[in-house]
């Protein structure tokens, strides 16, 4: 447990602009199952998913961060993100498989250096806000046990920032706006998720994830490592499907 807490502190110790959300890994067994999850990771997160047929499922996810920063500059670090997705799932006696695809929108404010603000404010770190969209493809494979379940999710994300703005954290300055012409960033975001029963239809869960860009020259900072802990309501947690 101390190891996971240390990783979480390291992951939240910087202030990057792109903060990937925790992977929603429902791994349904059958039609009619519903899941809802509240998590703490790089901020607060909420997830929901429903199995609309024996093979098709829907999900919605959201994350929120708001943090007062005093040094090296006094500002409010923030991040908000929401997405939806549709997926296919299948389960047998021993394992469960799924693949989701979806789209989301996000906005964040952080303190970093951006080359395109140099002509206006000089070459330095400054407070800037970025807006982005993300397309993701998320396959998962996991166990099908009544007790502890472990799942692996190698998510692929395409992150496209449409706009950056900054007034160098000084209301007296006019706001400079930059619309990037660079290609979207491609990320491989693998994660390991564990779930275990707590009481009734409530489960505990944790997730350890990595975020790896396929380009080394990204013009925005990102969270490289994530640790999440949460509580999940799972309407199917007490049922075992008969095959």
Residue 242 lies in a domain: no
Confidence of residue 227 (pLDDT cuts 50, 70, 90): very high
The domain that contains 225 carries what CATH number? 2.40.128
Mean pLDDT, rounded, for 168-178: 92
Confidence of residue 237 (pLDDT cuts 50, 70, 90): low
Residue 110 lies in a domain: yes
- And the tokens for 156? 């692929």
10 Å CB burial of residue 71 (0-12, 13-18, 19+) is: exposed
- Our count of domains for the chain comes to 1
Handedness of CA 193, 14, 12, 10 (dihedral sign): positive
168 CB-near residues (< 8 Å, 6+ apart) = 117, 120, 121, 126, 127
Give, rounded to a whole angstrom, the gap between the first and last alpha carbons of the chain: 37
Residue 111 lies in a domain: yes
Residue 76 lies in a domain: yes
For 57-116, write each residue's pLDDT tens digit.
999 999 999 999 887 788 889 999 999 999 999 999 889 999 999 999 999 999 988 999
Rounded CA separation 145/54 (Å) = 19
Rounded CA separation 90/96 (Å) = 6
What is the domain extent for residue 35? 2-234
Query: β-strands 225-234, 95-113: how paired?
Result: unpaired
- And the tokens for 199? 């009481």
DSSP per residue over 131-166, as a string? EEEEEEEEEEEEE--SS-EEEEEEEEEEEEEEEEEE
- How confident is the model at residue 14, as a pLDDT? 54
Contact predicate 30/51, CB 8 Å? yes
Q: How many helices (H) and strands (E) does the chain have?
A: 2, 12
Residue 241 lies in a domain: no
Residue 239 lies in a domain: no
Residue 93 lies in a domain: yes
Mean pLDDT, rounded, for 237-243: 48
Contact predicate 131/169, CB 8 Å? no
Rounded CA separation 174/166 (Å) = 8
Residue 98 lies in a domain: yes
């Amino acid at each position: 447990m101390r190891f996971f807490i240390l990783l979480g502190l390291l992951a939240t110790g910087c202030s990057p602009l792109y903060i990937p959300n925790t992977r929603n890994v429902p791994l349904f067994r059958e039609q009619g199952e519903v899941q809802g999850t509240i998590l703490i990771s790089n901020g607060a997160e909420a997830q929901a998913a429903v199995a609309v047929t024996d093979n098709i499922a829907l999900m919605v996810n959201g994350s929120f961060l708001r943090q007062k920063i005093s040094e090296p500059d006094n500002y409010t670090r923030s991040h908000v993100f929401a997405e939806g997705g549709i997926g296919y799932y299948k389960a047998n006696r021993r394992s469960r498989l799924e693949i989701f695809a979806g789209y989301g929108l996000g906005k964040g404010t952080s303190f970093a250096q951006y080359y395109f603000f140099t002509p206006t404010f000089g070459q330095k770190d400054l407070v800037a806000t970025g807006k982005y969209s993300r397309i993701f493809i998320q396959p998962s494979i996991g166990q099908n046990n009544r007790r502890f379940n472990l799942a692996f999710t190698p998510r692929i994300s395409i992150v496209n920032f449409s706009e950056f703005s900054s007034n160098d954290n000084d209301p007296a300055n006019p706001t400079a706006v930059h619309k990037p012409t660079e290609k979207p960033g491609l990320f491989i975001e693998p994660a390991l998720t564990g779930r275990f029963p707590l009481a009734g239809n409530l489960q505990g869960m944790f997730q350890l994830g990595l975020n790896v860009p396929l380009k080394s020259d990204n013009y925005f900072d990102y969270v490289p490592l994530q640790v999440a802990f949460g509580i999940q309501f799972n309407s199917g947690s007490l049922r075992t499907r008969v095959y």
